[in-house]
Every structure is written in C-alpha cells, then in structure tokens.
Amino acid sequence: RLVKLATMILNASRIVHRQVLNRSVIRQVPVRFLNLHEYQSAEVMRKFGVNTPKGGVAHTPEEAEQVAKSLSSDNMVIKAQVLAGGRGLGTFKNGFKGGVHVGVKTAGEIKEMASKMLGQLLVTKQTGAAGRICNTVAVVQTIQTKSEKYFAILMDRSYGGPVIVASAKGGVTIEDIAAADPSAIIKEPVDISTGLKPGQAEAIAKKMNFSCDKATNMAANQIKALYDTFIKCDCTMVEVNPFTETPDGEIVCVDAKVNFDDNAEFRQKDIHARRDHSQEDPLDVEAAKFDLNFINLDGNIACLVNGAGLAMATMDIIKLHGGEPANFLDLGGSVKTPQVVAAFRILNSDPKVKGILVNIFGGIVNCATVAQGIVDAAKEVWGGSPKVPLVVRLQGNNVEGAMELMKNSGIKCILGEDLDDAATKVVAAVAK
C-alpha cells in the first residue's frame, strides 16, 4: 500500500538499483498503473516476438490437468496467478504451502495442486493477513537453465524517458543484486523519440555475458522485442527476471511483470479490459469509478482532502496528535458534488472508520462544491447527519459561501479553525 500511495502522489520513475520509487511531480488527474497477471503479461509480450515458456492457464482443476497433458512433459511448473510478490513462499488459508511449485511430473499432480490453489486466499509478504484470491493458475514447462540474467525497461523522469536496467546476474531481486555488487548493474537510457540506437541492443546483450554468440544474438533480438512491447503498449515498466539462457543457447523470458499507464487506456482498450478487479481492494475499485485517489490504511480517522500534498500533511498531523489515519483520499482539483458524495459513501462503508476529517484548501476547488457534497452526503449516505464525528476545515475559494451552506444545513459537525485545530478536534472526538 505504501508503494501504491507513492505512485498516486508522485510521478513514475525508478533509480537504477530500484531501492526506492522516486516520484517528483504531482499530477492534476488520478493515475493508476494497470498491473496484469504474469500469464497476461506473457500473452502481451508474445505478440511482439518475446519468447516465453510454453503452457496455458486454467480456472478449474480439470482445465489445469488438460493443460498439463497438452505439454507432454514430466517437468512442469504450476503458478498461482495472484497480484503479489512472494508467491513461492506464500501459504494458502487452507494450509497448502507455496503458490509456485516447480518440477511437477504428472498431470494428476497438477490437478491436485490446482484444487488446493483455486478459489483460495494466498497470503504472502505483500498481501497482508487478508491474502489475495487465486482464481487462475498457470501451467508451463520448466525451462532448463544455464544462466539467469535480469532485464527491465523503466520510465525514468531524470532521463526524460525509458531507461534499460540489466544485469548479468539474475534470479534474485535487483535490489539484492545492487546491494551485493553495484557494478553488476547495466544502465542504458533510450531516446524515446528515436528508440534504440543501431547496435544498442547488441551492446547491452554483450554486457550481460551470455555463454555463446547464439545466445547473445538472440538476447539482442529479445531486447528489441521487449522495447517494442514497452513503447507500443504504453508501459511504465517491463521487468523480466529471470531472463534465462538455456543449455542450447536459447533465451526465454521465464517470469515477467508489466505495468501499463492508465492515461493511455483510450488507445489500449484491449489490455485495460484485462484488469482483474478481484485482486484490488473493493473500496479502491469504487473510488476509481469516480476518479478519486484513494488508498485504504489501518487507522480509524478517515481523511477527505483536495491535493496529494495536503492529504499527506493531514495524515501526518493526525498522527502528531495521537490519531491514526484510516485512508488517503484526494478529491483532486476538478471535483464535482457527486464525487464528494461518492467519497463519503466509500468512507462510510469502511467499518473501522470512527471519525472523519474534511480538510479543503480551495484554489481550483470551490469550497461551496465540497460543502454541498457534504450536505448531500448527509442526506443520501446517513439520512440526516453523520453517524461518526465529522470535523470540517474549509479555506480558500468561496469559503464564505461554503460556511453559509454548512451553517444553514443543520448537519451535526464540528468546524475547525485551521488544520491543527481540526486535527486536534477529530482525534479528541474519536477518543471519547
């Protein structure tokens, strides 16, 4: 959730070691980067000539068995398709251990494992205790490995475009590689207006130290295919780990993660239609329908704010006064009254919320728009007045009209003089 929070607030770029996400420009519109399942990413990449393991996907144990039979192999891999890292070390809530199993010999074993994965919640280090539902499994041939490399293409704001990050060492996270040997990282910026220079892919492939010319040449072709995928699909990231060399000199992109820019949804409709809402927080999904920047957190004081920076400051000052924020919710600069009502409906549907702080600094936003949204939400969501303490701080554009609306509405709420006063009041009200 912290990574997602940073993604909403700041512009997408990564430093070469990927030790932090470096975000620097707050956008005027919500941006959510579409994250596809592994099998979906592989399907997209194959269209551009990227070599991926042979296999298929299944939604039932019987389908998984049929995919396994079609492979005619005694060395297969079954992978739970869940949008979270650490699947291999995860545990399903039914007690079955591991979301990735390698070296499975028979179709019957694949069927049995699929029956323990499908329809179950997988808990990993990234999902939290709630876990994520597994509705799909991928069954693929095991790739024989001679060496494993790392390859990624990222949007990096400091370069004003794509940067290729690669390493002759792979199979583990790039953070671990960078920590152990920073010199092992290869970094190549690409001019987005002209693309890869002649010979650039070949030079990168040579630096990755493949064992033979055949593998080096194929790696260069795969780098070109991955760059085509990145540009033509409006990706924000393409990451292949491991980028594998087989004993016969073939290159296979064994595992990949691809993120897509939601601002390009209008020209990537087929890709964005694959979004799996079952992997997302239902409140996040609802917020996205109304172009609200929302992230669920663990506290009990809900925040409704305009502007990402102000939202962060609001959460900080709640913490400063001893409270715990329940969410990050940025209305944005172009908010209309129905969006304000939708925001309150989302906050009200969260059972852990025991108080709400509205903190609006009207520049582009008309304070009266938010005030009318509060009035309408009180009627539509609560049938009168809020069921939990509501503290409202409004400043800026048309604040006088907004305050008049609030005073004449008869809604039970607490008005804050400034942010510090409002935060103090909401923490105190929740504590009673």
Active site residues per annotation: 150, 239
Sort strands 355-362 and 301-305 into parallel, antiparallel or unpaired: parallel
400 CB-near residues (< 8 Å, 6+ apart): none
Task: Extract the tokens encoding 19.
Answer: 């030790």
In one-letter notation, the amino acid at residue 210 is F
Q: Which helix (DSSP H) or strand (DSSP E) does residue 408 occupy?
A: helix 399-409
Q: Which helix (DSSP H) or strand (DSSP E) does residue 207 occupy?
A: helix 200-207
Contact 155, 236 (CB under 8 A): yes
Q: How far apart, in Å, do the first and last CA atoms of the chain sit?
A: 29
Q: Round to whole Å and give the CA distance between 87 and 94.
A: 15
- 150 in helix, strand or coil? strand
State the CB neighbour count (10 A cutoff) for residue 94.
10
Q: Round to whole Å and give the CA distance between 10 and 23.
A: 4
Q: Round to whole Å and give the CA distance between 131 and 278.
A: 12
Q: Round to whole Å and give the CA distance between 286 and 344.
A: 12
Contact 328, 8 (CB under 8 A): yes
